[in-house]
Amino acid sequence: MSKLEDIVSLCKRRGFIFPGSDVYGGMAGTWDFGPLGVMLKKKIMDEWWKFFVESRDDMYGVDAAILMNPKTWIASGHLATFADPLVECKECKSRFRADKIADGISESVTTEEFLATHTKCPVCGKENWGPIRKFNMMFKTSVGAIDDESATAYLRPETAQGIFTNYKNIVDTIYPNIPFGIAQQGKAFRNEISPRDFILRDRECNQMEIEYFVHPNHWDKAFEEMRSLQHNFLENIIGLPTDKIHEYEVPIEDRAHYSKRTIDLMFDYPNGEEELMGLAYRTDFDLQNIARESGKSMEYRDKITNETFVPHVIEPSIGVERLFLAVLSNAYTEEEIDGDKRIVLKLPENLAPYRFCVSPLLKNKPELVTKAKEVYDKLRTKYTNVTWDDSGNIGKRYRKQDEIGTPKCVVIDFDTLEDDTVTIRDRDTTEQIRAAIADL
Ligand code: GAP
């Protein structure tokens, strides 16, 4: 099995992530987070919110509706241009994203350029392709009891537009000084032609995005600040190693229609280097489009200079699932200790679903169980994320806690009853020390 398959299997076995609609045979590109996955995902999202919003006085949060007035997607350009190059094999009828199956071509590839690569169909091995068609990735739905064109709406393909459409509300209610940012976390939907690599490319994902509004003359300074903040967050808060993160300056032909500069931060995933997040200079593209489509001014008046202008925007955008997979694949370790093989998730303490696991050495000794429950209650009151485990033998419990990344296991034994000390076993070193309950 590949490392990615091992991770998928661990995720299912230990309740992190299940295939979406598993009971009915699944649904491609969708995944359900189980109890452990929800805890890890929430911690990742909370760390992002604390770092980028709560700890700053220039950031404001929004939680906009997923369904938006369809004018949003006309103004933003998504209706016209949010499309991938779709190619169909005429032999077996399989469909692919052309730029993902041929080397050295971009998203804007033409039929001629693609045919010149002499790519074989990954399913049937033949080389008999139809023309490249642009396939719009937005999911269409209808709103209300009418089922005609007038009821058409789209599931948002990026959370960003819920921010742009609230820019004026925030300027008119909070009166922020420029530069300021608006942040949002939430679902985004994309009808990906080929979802793949577990949760790396989904049809439904969560994004964490900031639109940082600046004076047009100051965009490059803000871009550099955001760039270094992203590294700081990924490396120092989330604990990803510096040498697994790489910057990619996206060339003009591959940049999104709204961007004048984009740097993608790439991560070394188990199946190779892939985009983890993007940092884009969106200029005033979105606010100008909204002004035109809505007829409302998007100008900002500087409180000190009285100058009026439409702000420019720096946008860091990261997918929660991609960050989740980066964290998981970085933590996933198979090793041998004293001849015993084990799988361990070496998660940073701030992200591990549980900080402690508490167990009685033997579950059929009521005096041990009672004492262990006391310790469990004490730790749970203090730290909240504490789990109880009295199943199987102690070796099996350690193996399970290693696999879910619990940093410390606390075991109550007969000595505890005498001297109020416990054994604390460390996840990464497997070393055991004796400590007083009072010091936990
Ligand atoms: N608002 C800008 C924007 O949406 P993007 O590069 O299309 O830009 C930003 O997406 C981030 O969202 C990506 O870097 C990735 O982390 C995440 N993302 C995009 N599509 C995804 C998908 N199909 N599955 C999982 N994550 C995705």
Looking up tokens 């199956």 gives 101
E strands, 215-347, where? 245-249, 261-269, 272-283, 300-301, 308-309, 312-319, 332-337, 340-345
Q: For the chain, give the number of residues.
A: 440
Mutate which of 44, 191, 205 for ligand 1 pocket (most atoms within 8 A of beta carbon): 205
pLDDT of residue 410 exceeding 80, the answer is yes
Nearest residue (CA) to ligand 1, atom 21: 201
**Amino acid type, 271:** N
Looking up tokens 């961007």 gives 259
List, as one string, the DSSP characters of 178-245.
SSEEEEEEEEEE---SS-BTTTTB-SEEEEEEEEEEE-GGGHHHHHHHHHHHHHHIIIIIS---GGGE
pLDDT of residue 343 exceeding 90, the answer is yes
Q: Measure the CA–CA gap between 200 and 191, rounded to whole angstroms.
A: 14
Nearest-5° Cα angle at 206, 204 to 208: 150
Q: Measure the CA–CA gap between 81 and 136, rounded to whole angstroms.
A: 7
- What's the sign of the alpha-carbon dihedral 345, 19, 203, 8? positive
Nearest residue (CA) to ligand 1, atom 13: 277
Q: What is the pLDDT of residue 254?
A: 87
Note the Cα 312 to chain centre separation in Å: 26
Q: What is the pLDDT of residue 32?
A: 98
Note the Cα 379 to chain centre separation in Å: 30
Does ligand 1 lie within 6 Å of residue 402's CB atom?
A: no
Report pTM: 0.94
Mutate which of 211, 322, 324 for ligand 1 pocket (most atoms within 8 A of beta carbon): 322
Q: What is the pLDDT of residue 422?
A: 97
What average pLDDT score do residues 277-284 get?
98
Q: Would you place residue 149 in the very low, low, confident or very high pLDDT band (cuts 50, 70, 90)?
A: confident
Mutate which of 73, 78, 207 for ligand 1 pocket (most atoms within 8 A of beta carbon): 207
Render pLDDT for 287-329 as a digit per residue (tens, 0 to 9). 999 999 999 999 999 988 999 999 999 999 999 999 999 999 9
Which secondary structure element, helix H or strand E, spans residue 86, and what is its range?
strand 83-88
Render pLDDT for 12-30 as a digit per residue (tens, 0 to 9). 999 999 999 999 999 999 9
161 CA distance to ligand 1 middle (Å): 14
What average pLDDT score do residues 262-290 get?
97
